[in-house]
């Protein structure tokens, strides 16, 4: 089977059986499709005794959430598998393992993480994970440092930048993060009651200039191999484990983008809990956990990056005393800006989050949406005033409360 065709349960199962490398020849296998994402088909194949299972993921040639009117390249499946392999090589304990890939069919077979849960759903239920901040900070530090100019020889990095050029999916990010929310566009989606606040946001010239700078950096700063879509739906978690999945938006871009996207999603959940949790003590506990996780993530990322730079920087010029500290300060400033764009685009753009949309009370949901818009705007406007992780944390909590 080599020519592309979209799988169903039967054809996915047949493909795995033809490979013959994951199950015994006499295993009684079952297959079902369970993906609920916007872009792909996802199947679980398991034996009758449920002693072993794998995940088969296949890219569709269009955006599933829109339909065939929004075509997409199948090459994103290659990019996703390759990012997982590259990131897994430097951070294996936190990256989903690729077992097989077929670029012609846009198929990737992955380890089954069914014993874990998607972070977004768990946070929406008020569940907490004590290692999350440390794990995410470590992953983002490792994957960004070892694919940066600090570590890679220049020729190797330039070659990888070409290999991971991802124009179609980057265009989606560029539109949804930096363009659509700041102008009238048919893809935007928000209640009429937000119109006044949205109009003021779009008339804020200083904000628009800052967003333009963030977009320009996204265009022109191939600092590292990004995951490209770090949100709480792209993380599996358990009490002890964290695993990153779904990096099909991966490309070489600004280091702060992944960090800012993750923090933005924790802040979306922080605001959403105001409309989700009725009991004040419980809501305070969850708020405290989310803010603590953000602080831990920022500190872990910065400290781990500084350690790696001290011990593993290969480029002689980049070893100049004090340079890495200045570099990271700019990365963190970028992260706060990208965090703000995530908050805004998830509130009024095309792709919302269940954290907010799942709030049944319309008045409470609207209050949360107003809060996320204000928080996003202030993070973008004030990010450059921060000089340390403590500054960034104080900036967050000053507008989050």
- Residue 392 tokens read as 């960034």
> Would you list which residues are annotated within the binding site?
40, 57, 111-113, 229, 246-248, 345
- Residue 377 tokens read as 């705007």
Residue 57 CB neighbours (<10 A): 26
Let me know if 119 is exposed, middle or buried by CB neighbors in 10 A (0-12, 13-18, 19+): buried
Flag whether 4 is in a domain: no
Tell me the residue range of the domain where 69 lies: 9-111
Flag whether 351 is in a domain: yes
pLDDT value of position 37: 65
- Confidence check: pLDDT of 382 > 60: yes
Per the prediction, the chain carries an average pLDDT of: 96
The string of pLDDT tens digits covering residues 322-345 is 999 999 999 999 999 999 999 999
- One domain, residues 35 and 160: no
pLDDT value of position 401: 77
- One domain, residues 314 and 365: yes
pLDDT value of position 1: 55
- One domain, residues 158 and 90: no
How many residues make up the chain in this entry? 401
CATH number of the domain residue 89 falls in: 3.30.200.20
Structural Rg of the chain based on CA atoms: 21
CATH number of the domain residue 312 falls in: 3.90.1200.10
Alpha helices in 102-145 (DSSP H): 119-124, 132-145
Report the distance separating Cα 366 and Cα 370, nearest Å.
6
Q: For the CA atoms of 134, 138, 139, 145, what is the dihedral angle to 10 degrees?
A: 160
- One domain, residues 103 and 124: no
How many domains would you assign to the chain? 2
- Confidence check: pLDDT of 2 > 70: no
CA 277 to chain CA centroid, nearest Å: 25
Which residues lie below 8 Å from residue 288, measured CB to CB, with a gap of 6+?
Answer: none
- One domain, residues 246 and 272: yes
DSSP string of 341-380?
Answer: HHHHHHHHSS---HHHHT---HHHHHHHHHHHHHHHHHHH
Of 93, 111, 129, which residue constitutes the final position of a domain? Answer: 111
- One domain, residues 166 and 233: yes
Q: pTM value? A: 0.96
Of 111, 132, 156, which residue constitutes the final position of a domain? Answer: 111
- One domain, residues 28 and 136: no
Of 111, 141, 156, which residue constitutes the final position of a domain? Answer: 111
- Residue 372 tokens read as 């996320």
Flag whether 2 is in a domain: no
Flag whether 1 is in a domain: no
- One domain, residues 124 and 53: no
- Residue 317 tokens read as 């010029």
Binned at pLDDT 50, 70 and 90, residue 65 comes out as low
DSSP string of 167-199?
Answer: HHHHHHHIIIIIIGGGS--TT----GGGHHHHH
Report the distance separating Cα 324 and Cα 236, nearest Å.
31
- One domain, residues 103 and 156: no
- One domain, residues 88 and 127: no
> Would you list which residues are annotated within the binding site for ATP?
40, 57, 111-113, 246-248
- Residue 7 tokens read as 């799988």
- One domain, residues 372 and 326: yes
- One domain, residues 283 and 320: yes
> Would you list which residues are annotated within the binding site for substrate?
229, 345
- The 8-class DSSP code of residue 96 comes to P
Binned at pLDDT 50, 70 and 90, residue 236 comes out as very high
């Amino acid at each position: 089977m080599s020519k592309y065709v979209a799988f169903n349960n039967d054809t996915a199962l047949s493909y795995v059986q033809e490979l013959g490398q994951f199950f015994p020849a006499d295993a009684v296998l079952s297959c079902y499709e369970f993906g609920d994402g916007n872009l792909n088909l996802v199947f679980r194949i398991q034996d009758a005794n449920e002693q072993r299972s794998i995940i088969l993921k296949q890219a569709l040639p269009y955006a599933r959430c829109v339909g065939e009117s929004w075509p997409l390249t199948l090459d994103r499946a290659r990019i996703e598998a390759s990012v997982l392999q590259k990131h897994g090589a430097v951070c294996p304990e936190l990256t989903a393992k690729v077992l097989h890939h077929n670029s012609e069919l846009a198929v990737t077979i992955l380890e089954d993480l069914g014993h874990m849960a998607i972070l977004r759903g768990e946070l929406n239920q008020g569940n907490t994970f004590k290692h999350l901040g440390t794990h995410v900070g470590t992953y983002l530090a490792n994957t960004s440092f070892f694919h940066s100019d600090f570590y890679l020889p220049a020729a190797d990095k330039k070659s990888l930048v070409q290999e991971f050029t991802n124009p179609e999916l980057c265009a989606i990010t560029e539109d949804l993060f930096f363009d659509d929310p700041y102008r009238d566009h048919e893809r935007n989606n928000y209640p009429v009651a937000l119109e006044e606040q949205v109009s003021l946001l779009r008339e804020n010239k200083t904000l628009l200039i800052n967003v333009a700078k963030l977009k320009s950096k996204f265009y022109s700063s191939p600092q590292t191999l990004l995951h490209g879509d770090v949100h709480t739906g792209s993380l599996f978690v358990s009490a002890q484990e964290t695993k990153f999945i779904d990096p099909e938006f991966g490309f070489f871009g600004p280091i702060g983008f992944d960090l800012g996207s993750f923090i933005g999603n924790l802040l979306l959940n922080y605001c959403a809990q105001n409309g989700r949790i009725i009991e004040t003590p419980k809501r305070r506990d969850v708020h405290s956990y989310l803010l603590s996780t953000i602080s831990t993530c920022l500190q872990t990322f910065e400290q781990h990056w500084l350690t790696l730079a001290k011990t593993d920087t290969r480029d002689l010029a980049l070893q100049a005393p004090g340079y890495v500290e200045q570099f990271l300060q700019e990365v963190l400033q970028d992260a706060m800006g990208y965090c703000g764009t995530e908050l805004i685009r998830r509130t009024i753009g095309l792709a919302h989050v269940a954290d907010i949309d799942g709030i049944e009370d319309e008045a409470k949901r609207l209050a949360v949406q107003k809060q996320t818009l204000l928080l996003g705007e202030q993070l973008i406007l004030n990010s450059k005033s921060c000089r340390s992780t403590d500054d960034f944390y104080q900036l967050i909590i000053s507008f989050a409360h």
